[in-house]
Amino acid sequence: MTTWDQRPAILAGLIGQGIQASRTPAMHEREGAEQGLRLIYRLIDLDPLRLGPQALPELLTAAERMGFQGLNITFPCKQAVLPLLHEISPEARALGAVNTVVLRDGRRIGHNTDCSGFAEGFARGLPDVPRARVVQLGAGGAGAAVAHALLEQGVQRLSISDTDPGRAAALAESLAARFGAGRAEACDDLQGEVAAADGLVNCTPVGMAKLPGTPLPVEWLHPGLWVAEIVYFPLETALLRAARALGCRTLDGGGMAVFQAVGAFRLFTGREPDADRMLRHFAAMSEEAA
């Protein structure tokens, strides 16, 4: 019988800010155990370390020296990590953001599993919603991935709002270059756009346990909207709660959290994860936390 110490070992981790509540370590370690791997997944939280994205070069070097096979990258580092990599996958390059770095043979290879992760969760959770006009809040690293996924999923016109108007304009311009003129634009009248929209997607950190609240006045919501989140802790954000009270169809951030982890697990281990098993594990963790 194979003992724990004889199992193939893989060391991975997550770099980000305020990530103590992340369920990513448990998802990876559990799926690794199911596949006979000794997968150890560590959090590298910038907050208790009192570090910012400027520490990324040092952290990547330390991870390489300690034998990490891969790292997930989250807010606020998904774009800052780009110039520190030796190779970037075509999708991650198109998105301008990396959420997964494979460390192999002295090279750092960047990937993005956020786009496919959101797309899979959206296709499963809101398969038949209208997609003529959608408003997206947030144009950062995760926002870029979600925007691409939405347009690939058939959204005809995406209006992007961000606290930094220049960032929203830059993302809209890159999307228009890839998907065609008129498919994406920076939002200059958020209330008016929401009033006319079929759907609303929150890609900002507002709503997280550490940043409670809503990313826009809930009075702007209307029953004709569907509302999607990428925040998954808590699973029901204040925005989703307000939307459900109006009768809106909603999608929480759990699907994206699981399916981006599915893609990262595949890259870290070279093995095919059981996505349905990972979904069940995530759901069980969510019930325990409720």
> Which tokens belong to 183?
């498919």
Q: Specify whether 78 is catalytic.
A: yes
- Do the bridges between strand 100-104 and strand 107-111 make them parallel or antiparallel, or are there none, so unpaired? antiparallel
Could you say which of 23, 30, 78, 183 is catalytic?
A: 78
Spell out a b/e string for 225-245, using b for 16 or more CB atoms within 10 Å of the CB, else e: bbbbbbbbbbbbbbbbebbee
Residue 174: exposure state from Cβ atoms within 10 A (0-12, 13-18, ≥19): middle
DSSP 8-state code for residue 270: S
Give yes or no for a contact between 258 and 26, defined as CB atoms under 8 angstroms apart. Answer: no
Give yes or no for a contact between 207 and 239, defined as CB atoms under 8 angstroms apart. Answer: yes
Amino acid making up residue 104? R
- Do the bridges between strand 9-16 and strand 107-111 make them parallel or antiparallel, or are there none, so unpaired? unpaired
Beta bridge partners, 101, equal: 71, 110
Active site residues: 78
